[in-house]
Structure 1
Amino acid sequence: MHELSYTLVSLFGSRFQNSPVRYLRLEIQYALEYQRPMHRLMTESDAIKREWLVTWKVGVEDGIAYTLFYVVGDREPYESALSGVETMESYDITPVRDEAFYAFIRGQETDRSRQFYTAFEQPTLMIVPPVAYRPHGIVLFDVVGEPAALEQVRSALPDGISVNVRKIGEYDASPGTFATGLTSRQREALTVGREVGYYDVPRNGSVEDVAKELGCAPSTASNHLRKAEARLVERTFK
């Protein structure tokens, strides 16, 4: 069963019908038997702290899925587990710092992955990357599009997925505005802060929540957030 915590059309309401771009922040959870192997690794091992799907493409003719992940964690157990994935054809690992690397993976597309992406393949709907993977089968991402198209998604998703709408609003992002000047850890802290509700109004998450997700002390998380925020303010008014 697909369970949305709200009825999308009623949440958007008639006042949104004239706005071409609205967004949902979705949290979906895969049942254990439907989780991809590398996603299960996050739950079974503390070697992988966080993982984001940055971009993806599926070959129409060869049925190969090309995916690029940004991973924070220990490369060796990740690569060991990846090499044992049955659908994996080949991969490249590119370290970017001590505990972070990119994984470019070429693998056979499965019926379930095809059904998942097909659910969002509508002319007036799209997923905004990155897609955040979390332990226990949880995936977080934003979807933008028309309310009617968003409502149709739930019936098209494969079985074994529960869906929770974490936030609804008007999509307002300026690509590239804040793309430079942040360290990877500062960017990660901001991403986590956004996910746990630290930047919601009213605020629904705390520095302690951010620290828990980052695996660091609250004082360290606070330091990352303050430095990132200061940098963003500086760039805004340059």
Structure 2
Amino acid sequence: MKQLQLRIHHAGEQIHPMHAFEMEHERVEWAELRHWNTVFDETNAQVFRVRGDPEVFRAKLAERDATVAYSVTEAVDGVFYCCVRDRVTAADRRYLDAFARGTLVVVPPIRFNGDGTTELTLVGTAPDLDAAVNALPDGMRATVQSIGPYRRRAGTPEAGLTDRQYEAVAAAVESGYYDSPREGSVADVAREMGIAPGTAAEHLRKAEATAMQRLCRR
């Protein structure tokens, strides 16, 4: 069983209308899909976490023909939740069908980025992972961010780290690098990993940047 982290690039016409709205509206910063159901009656029920103004999000949902029902919470510290049920379009179906196979599980959240890409984590067998990537509809392509054995940390805030970045952070914690006062050093991390100090420092820098970005989106 493997885990695969993907960034999906969507051509302009393949970007979901709500994602396009989030990208363009100055009062919506970002959104991520936290939970969803299996399609039984050609509708989707989904829960989104959004940073922005819930009123503009509510207004957009109300005007969409595909929206069946929705509920939007009040914002707390600028973040609100939206539960929406909408009709599955042909474009939705082609996208969903790429991942509806055999052993595959999509691990939430799915993140919608301001550049029109989405990020998601898949868990499954290697053949099913390959098939899903190859089955993406025309106008979509995938960039593999990481692939490896399934780990319990898949889909959690640290899942954006590569395996080597995670090893560097683990070595840093073990050495006391993050203690106060600091006990360990980059040299200790490098020695534990068998790499040059400059490489260890780069792994830590990138891991810390990823962790802080993910933390600010929680």
Q: 1:209 to 1:144 in 2, by over 3 A?
A: closer
Helix, strand or coil for the counterpart of 1:72?
strand
The number of residue pairs the alignment matches comes to 180
1:94 and 2:80 equivalent? no
Give the 5 Å matches for 1:197-208. 199-200=165-166, 201=168, 202-203=203-204, 205=206
Q: Report if the CA contact (8 A) 2:3-2:123 is conserved.
A: yes
**Please, what TM-score do these two structures have when normalized by structure 2?**
0.71
Pairing partner for 2:47 from 53, 68, 77: 68
Q: 2-side partners of 1:174 and 1:153: how far apart?
A: 22
Task: Quote the residue 2:29 is aligned against.
Answer: 49
Task: Quote the residue 1:24 is aligned against.
Answer: 4
Q: Which has the higher contact order (CA 8 A, sep 6+)?
A: 1
Gaps of 5+ in 1: 1-20, 176-189, 215-220, 229-238
Q: 1:59 to 1:35 in 2, by over 3 A?
A: same
Q: 2-side partners of 1:120 and 1:35: how far apart?
A: 17
Q: 2-side partners of 1:210 and 1:144: how far apart?
A: 21
Task: Quote the residue 1:104 is aligned against.
Answer: 83
Helix, strand or coil for the counterpart of 1:91?
strand
Q: 2-side partners of 1:98 and 1:110: how far apart?
A: 33
Q: 1-side partners of 2:54 and 2:42: how far apart?
A: 27
1:38 and 2:3 equivalent? no
1:195 and 2:160 equivalent? yes
Gaps of 5+ in 2: 169-202
Q: Report if the CA contact (8 A) 2:3-2:151 is conserved.
A: no
- Alignment RMSD: 2.9
Q: 1-side partners of 2:88 and 2:17: how far apart?
A: 14
Q: Report if the CA contact (8 A) 1:55-1:68 is conserved.
A: yes
Q: Deviations over 1:44-87 (max 9, x none)?
A: 12322221111112442x31111111111111222222222221
Work out the percentage of aligned pairs sharing the same amino acid: 26
